[in-house]
Structure 1
Amino acid sequence: MLAKAVRRLEAAGVPDAPRDARRLLAHALGVAPGRLTLVLGDPVPDAAAEAFETLVTRRAAREPVSHLTGTRSFWGRDFVVTPDVLDPRPETEILIAAALEAPFARVLDLGTGSGCILLTLLAERAIAAGIGCDLSEAALAVAGLNRAALGLDERAELRPGDWFAALEADTGRFDLIVSNPPYIAASEMPALDPETRDFEPRAALTDEGDGLAAYRAIAAGAPAWLTPGGRLMVEIGPTQADAVSALFAASGLADVAVLRDLDGRERVVAARVPL
Structure 2
Amino acid sequence: MSPGGDGNGASIGGLLSAATRRLAAAGSGSARLDARLLLAHALGADDRLHGHEDEPVTPDGAAQFNVLLDRRLAGEPVSRILGNREFWSLEFELSPATLDPRPDSETLIDALRELRPDRSASLRILDLGTGTGCLLLAALSEYPNAEGVGVDIDPECVAISGRNAEKLCLSDRARMIRSSWARDVTGTFDIVLSNPPYIPSPEIENLQPEVRLHDPLRALDGGFDGLDAYRNIAENLASLLNRDGLALFEFGEGQGPEVARIMEAAGLSVAGFRNDLAGIQRCIQVRRN
Identity of matched residues, % = 42
Q: Which amino acid aligns with 1:165?
A: R
Residue identity in the other structure for 1:70: G
Q: Name the residue aligned to 2:6.
A: none
1:144 aligns with 2:162: yes
Moved more, 124-133 or 246-255: 246-255
In the alignment, is the contact (CA less than 8 A) between 2:247 and 2:287 conserved in 1? yes
Question: Counterpart of 1:185?
Answer: 200
- 1:182 Cα shift? 0.3
* 1:48 partnered with 2:61: yes
Higher helix share: 1
Give CA deviations for 1:86-135 in whole Å, capped at 9, x if unaligned: 11111111101111221561011000000000111112211111111101
Q: Distance in 2 between matches of 1:95 and 1:112?
A: 13
Alpha-carbon distance between aligned partners in 2 of 1:271 and 1:234, rounded to the nearest angstrom: 8
Q: What does residue 23 of structure 1 align with?
A: 37
Q: Give yes or no for contact 1:232–1:271 (8 Å, CA) kept in 2.
A: yes
Residue in structure 2 matching 1:3, options 9, 12, 17: 17
Q: Does 1:12 align with 2:30?
A: no
Structure 1 residues 255 and 185: alpha-carbon distance in aligned structure 2, compared to 1, 3 A threshold: closer
Consecutive unaligned residues of structure 1, counting only runs of 5 or more, are none
Deviation at 1:70, TM superposition (A): 1.4
State the partner residue of 1:89.
Answer: 102
Distance 2:171 2:122 in 1: 19
Measure the CA separation in 2 of the matches of 1:247 and 1:258: 15
In structure 2, the residue matched to 1:107 is 125
Distance 1:185 1:110 in 2: 19
Equivalent residues in 2 for 1:111-130 (5 A)?
111-130=129-148
Higher Rg of the two aligned structures: 2
Which of residues 178, 182, 185 in structure 2 aligns to 1:164?
A: 182
Q: Residue 226 in 1 paired to residue 241 in 2?
A: yes
TM-score when normalising by structure 2: 0.90
Q: Is the 8 A contact 1:12 1:61 kept in 2?
A: no
8 Å Cα contact 2:260-2:270 kept in structure 1: no
- Aligned-partner Cα distance in 1 for 2:198–2:223: 9
Q: Is the 8 A contact 1:185 1:209 kept in 2?
A: yes
Contact 2:162 2:175 in 1 (8 A): no
Secondary structure of the 1:100 match is helix
**CA shift in 2, pair 1:116/1:144, >3 Å:** same
Distance in 2 of aligned mates of 1:7 and 1:147: 38
- Tell me, what secondary structure is at the counterpart of 2:127? strand
Q: Distance in 1 between matches of 2:66 and 2:81?
A: 12
Please name the residue that 1:254 is paired with.
269
Q: 1:187 & 1:17 partners in 2: Cα distance?
A: 32
Answer with 255-264 or 141-150: which moved more: 255-264
What's the CA shift for 1:166? 2.4
SS of equivalent to 1:164: coil
Question: What is the CA RMSD across the aligned residues, in angstroms?
Answer: 1.4
SS at 1:37 equivalent? coil
After superposition, what is the alpha-carbon deviation per residue over 1:130-154, rounded to whole angstroms, capped at 9, x for unaligned? Answer: 1111010111111111011012222
Tell me, yes or no, if structure 1 residue 209 matches structure 2 residue 227. Answer: no
TM-score by length of 1: 0.94
Per-residue CA shift, 1:150-174, capped at 9, x if unaligned? 122221111111101121xxx2100
Deviation at 1:255, TM superposition (A): 4.1
Q: Secondary structure at the match of 2:249?
A: strand
What corresponds to 1:236 in structure 2?
A: 251
AA aligned to 1:49 is: A
2:243 alignment partner, SS class: strand
